[in-house]
Structure formats: structure tokens, C-alpha cells
Amino acid sequence: MNGCGNAFAIFDARDHGGTMQLTPAQIKTIVETSACDQIMAIESTPDNTDAFMRIWNANGEEVSACGNGTRAVAWWLMEEAKTDAVTVRTKAGELLASRVGDHLICVDMGQPRLGWEEIPLSERMDTRGIDIKVGPIDAPVLSMPGAVNMGNPHAVFFVEDVEQIAVQSIGSLLEHHPLFLQGANIGFAQVRSRDEIRLRVWERGAGLTRACGTGACAALVACHRRGLTGRKARLILDGGELLIEWRKTDDHVLMTGPVKWEYEGEAQGV
């Protein structure tokens, strides 16, 4: 499946022991044969949620959250149960998803974590603009990105023209900056208006993808905290559009976007 062009290989492990573990070699084979950005496993859960979603990046790292992947898995579960709402458990917590149109899913991504120790950073600082510079120290090309944790850590640079940014070289350079204790996704946000943001994201462990759901959520939060946008905006990514709202009533971030079913098959030797 894919969400805004963000491609996933999704395995249903519920009838095969209920859980799934993959070796780095298996992950490499899956990524190469399916051309996916990330791998998901739908697992059984003993609680009142509909399923547990396990997530691996293309580099073999297991991660806690994936916004576009959550929409894809939620749609699958809704189709299966013939319902319009499901709860998906992840390592980042429970996520409530609802159907809002044909192949259009809204996920409540919960509250953003904004404290320096919640990102987490190696030093105490104001996360509205953290101390990272790219280029000459006295005249940096980029500086002071906002930091937001949306189940995974993000640093969002505010740029004038995202098409002129060397996302791959800068993203790979900063992904494991010493300030990020767990690494970070590196976003580049161009604010076009109070309700529109053009965004590209270098994803930790996956590289430059066509869309990043948690990155879109982080970008809206970071931009609003800097007074650049309202609490709701359309995010334009390489693979499509997401509608993100940082709800004032409960501080939750809502992400709405499309999902697409590509094909299915039977896994061999996994």
C-alpha cells in the first residue's frame, strides 16, 4: 500500500503466531523486492485495540510511529471489519483512526511532545528553535529548526524555497547529529500561506521519501509555534497532500490523507 506515495510492505501476522520478527537480511530482501520505504506487521493484541502495528525502516531499525503507515493499516482493518473507525496500537501509543471518505482516513496522532528531554535532545534548549546550523558559522545557510516529537523525533527547518534545498545531503548529514540522542527525521518546510506548507522530509533510517505523515504533523506544529501558520494547514508533499490540524481543545494533532492499495501476495520464507 501507499499513503501519499509513501510505500509500505504490510504483513498480516495475526493468523501466523500473532506476532512477527524480521532479520536485517529479510528486511533488506523485502525492501529490494517491493521497493518499499518501510515495512509494517499487523499483529494480534490482547487489549481492546483492533491490532498492534510493528514498524521497520528500510535500514532494519524498528521504530515507534509512522503516520502514513497508520492510515494504510487502519484502512485495511476497517475494510476487514466493515467499520468506519479502528484503534491501532503502536510503540508510541494508541491511535484512533476514522474513515472520512473513499480511501481517505483521519488519524488522531495524539499530543506533540515539545520538551527538550521529550525529543530527546542531549542539551536543554527551547525547541521552538534549536541550536543547529548548516554552512559557515557566521553566515549559516540554514539554522534554528523547530524540534517536535510525534512518536518519533523531528527537526523542521523553515526555508524560503524547498526546491532549492539539498535535502538528501543535508538530511543525511544531520540525521545523526550529536544533539539527537535517538537520531531525527529532518524536515524542510516552506510556508506559502497561513494555511499551506510545502514540505520535504529526510526520514531517519529510510532516506528521502515521497511523504512523511509524522513529519507533516511536526511541520505544522513547528510552524504554528513560530507564528508562521494557523493551527490547520494543507501540507504539500512530493507524493500528495495531507490536511493537518493541531486541535486547540485537547492539543491533539489530526492527520487526514489518502491511502492506496497496490497489490497483495503470499510471503515466502519470512
Contact 254, 248 (CB under 8 A): no
Residue with cell 497496490: 262
Rounded Cα distance, 250 and 141, in Å: 36
Rounded Cα distance, 152 and 239, in Å: 21
DSSP 3-state assignment of 116? Answer: helix
Task: Please list the active-site residues.
Answer: 66, 212
Contact 146, 215 (CB under 8 A): no
Rounded Cα distance, 7 and 30, in Å: 12
DSSP 3-state assignment of 72? Answer: helix
Dig out the grid coordinates for 171 from the structure.
Answer: 538530511
**Cα angle 154, 155, 161; round to 5:** 125
CA distances to 68, 159, 207, 217 from 199, rounded to whole Å, are 15, 10, 15, 11
Q: Kindly calculate the radius of gyration of the chain based on its CA atoms and give it in whole angstroms.
A: 18
Rounded Cα distance, 133 and 125, in Å: 15
